Structure 1
Amino acid sequence: MLNNKHDSHILILNNAKQEFLELGFEKASMRSIAGKSGFTAGALYKHFKNKEEMFYALVEPAYLKLLRMFDKCTDSLMDDIAENPDELFDDSVNGAAAVLELIYQNYDEFQLMFNHSTGTRFEHIRENLVDIETKSTKRFIEIARENGLNPAEISDTEVHIFATMSLTPLFEVITHGYPYEEAVEIINLMSKAQNYAWEKIVNLKMD
């Protein structure tokens, strides 16, 4: 028997996660989640007013961790431009590995966001993350130019495509659920390929 409201809350979220993973957000049922949790539908609504609130309670903590990780990696690269340009490409590869580790530490939550979120504000997560990466890339190019690295001129459209290219390998390993060890190899290889592109396309070469 559950001892308190907190225990009930955790039980409901665990059952909701399985329901969302099996059926997706749109087909998931509050009534079904209530039954699996041993509650009436009315009792369930004392914890969550709707399934949107339940879904967001599951995924938003992981999503916010991802955004903080993106910011941390971006800040590290910006610092490298000014202080340690010879470490820039190594830090880029390490940053991608850190993001991947975070995702696999919260594997179910990212599966929900990427593969089961139709009907929620996370259904366009790929496009939203590309927009964030696009803004970061523009800022990176500006700071590189300010610090004398003389990157090539590229259009906003090209920056957007470049950002999409950078994130697509990450999206792929989440979407298809590769084993972690295989995902690490994929992301490491693609990160090195992207660094090569920075050298050849953007002409950002560290001597």
Structure 2
Amino acid sequence: MQVLKDDVKKSIRQAALSEFKKHGYMKASIRHIADAAGITPGNIYRYFKNKEDLFYELIQPVYEQLASYTLEIKNEVDFKLCKETADHLVILRKIDATILQLFKQSSVELTILLNLSEGSRYESVKQELITLVYQILENVFVTTKETPTPLEVNEQQSARMLAVTLIEGMSLILRDYEDGDTIKVLVDELLYLYSAGISEKIKLQGQC
């Protein structure tokens, strides 16, 4: 009997992942999940309280991993004395490596977390990543000035724009591709282009 229950729950989880990836959290339908799992909607509620509970069970593990890795990187940004541009670019690459590692382990769940979690408790995750990258870029721009001073408004806007487009770029790659090797190549290329652009911006900043 327990084996049958486990099989039903596994079918629900697989159907739910497919539904959330196709429609996102807000538009996902318990009825569609039940149909795909070959059961009635009422049977789903024997295993999960509601759609939020089902989404939580699927997404929470990858969220906890991402949150743990992000906290480690944030602590490094906050407490490590990064003096060279290369120090900060190494930290950006750690974000790259973290996202790729999580993709290898839980590709569908990570894609849903970053792209399709609007309306859930996880909808701020992407913004948290953007804020982390902004903090890194802010440190890069400040520490590479001839006389370190707080960023001007236009410099803050530039750092924010770079942070947003970097994380959005990674998210789009995860959304549009499923092959792990292709994703690694594209994310690495994206980070390389940003690193080159940031280095050039810093060089021009030093000439002003």
Q: Same fold (TM over 0.5)?
A: yes
Q: Relative to structure 1, is the Cα distance of residues 160 and 66 closer, same or farther in structure 2, using a 3 angstrom cutoff?
A: farther
Q: What is the aligned partner in structure 2 of residue 121 from structure 1?
A: 121
Q: What is the aligned partner in structure 2 of residue 184 from structure 1?
A: 188
RMSD: 3.6
Q: Quick check: 2:88–2:137 contact (8 Å CA) kept in 1?
A: no
Q: What is the aligned partner in structure 2 of residue 194 from structure 1?
A: 198
Q: Which moved more, 1:27-36 or 1:92-101?
A: 92-101
Q: Quick check: 2:126–2:167 contact (8 Å CA) kept in 1?
A: no
* Separation of aligned partners in 2, 1:41 and 1:33: 8
How far did residue 11 of structure 1 move?
A: 2.3
1:76-132 Cα distance to aligned partner (Å, 9 max, x none): 3455417x8586145224313313313432331232133333332334543343345
The alignment partner of 1:3 has SS state of: helix
* Separation of aligned partners in 1, 2:88 and 2:200: 9
Q: Which moved more, 1:121-130 or 1:179-188?
A: 121-130
Q: Quick check: 1:130–1:160 contact (8 Å CA) kept in 2?
A: no
Q: Which amino acid aligns with 2:56?
A: Y
How far did residue 192 of structure 1 move?
A: 4.1
Q: Quick check: 2:31–2:41 contact (8 Å CA) kept in 1?
A: yes
The alignment partner of 1:81 has SS state of: coil
* Separation of aligned partners in 1, 2:79 and 2:84: 9
* Separation of aligned partners in 2, 1:199 and 1:81: 21
What pairs with 1:170-181 in structure 2 (closer than 5 Å)?
Answer: 170-176=167-173, 177-178=176-177, 179-180=182-183, 181=185
* Separation of aligned partners in 2, 1:156 and 1:67: 29
* TM, length-normalised to structure 1: 0.72
Q: What is the aligned partner in structure 2 of residue 27 from structure 1?
A: 27
* Separation of aligned partners in 1, 2:64 and 2:196: 26
How far did residue 22 of structure 1 move?
A: 1.9
* Separation of aligned partners in 1, 2:85 and 2:49: 52
Aligned residues: 197
The alignment partner of 1:76 has SS state of: helix
* Separation of aligned partners in 1, 2:67 and 2:195: 19
* Separation of aligned partners in 2, 1:93 and 1:154: 20
Q: Which moved more, 1:156-165 or 1:7-16?
A: 156-165
1:118-161 Cα distance to aligned partner (Å, 9 max, x none): 332334543343345456667x58x96xxxx9533215785465
Q: Which amino acid aligns with 1:182?
A: L
Q: Quick check: 1:2–1:8 contact (8 Å CA) kept in 2?
A: no
5+ long unaligned stretches in structure 1: none
Q: What is the aligned partner in structure 2 of residue 101 from structure 1?
A: 100
Q: What is the aligned partner in structure 2 of residue 58 from structure 1?
A: 58
Q: Which moved more, 1:171-180 or 1:119-128?
A: 119-128
Q: Which amino acid aligns with 2:159?
A: F
Q: Relative to structure 1, is the Cα distance of residues 66 and 158 closer, same or farther in structure 2, using a 3 angstrom cutoff?
A: farther
Q: Quick check: 1:134–1:160 contact (8 Å CA) kept in 2?
A: no
Q: Which amino acid aligns with 2:110?
A: F
* TM, length-normalised to structure 2: 0.71
% identity of equivalent residues:
23
Q: Which amino acid aligns with 2:53?
A: E
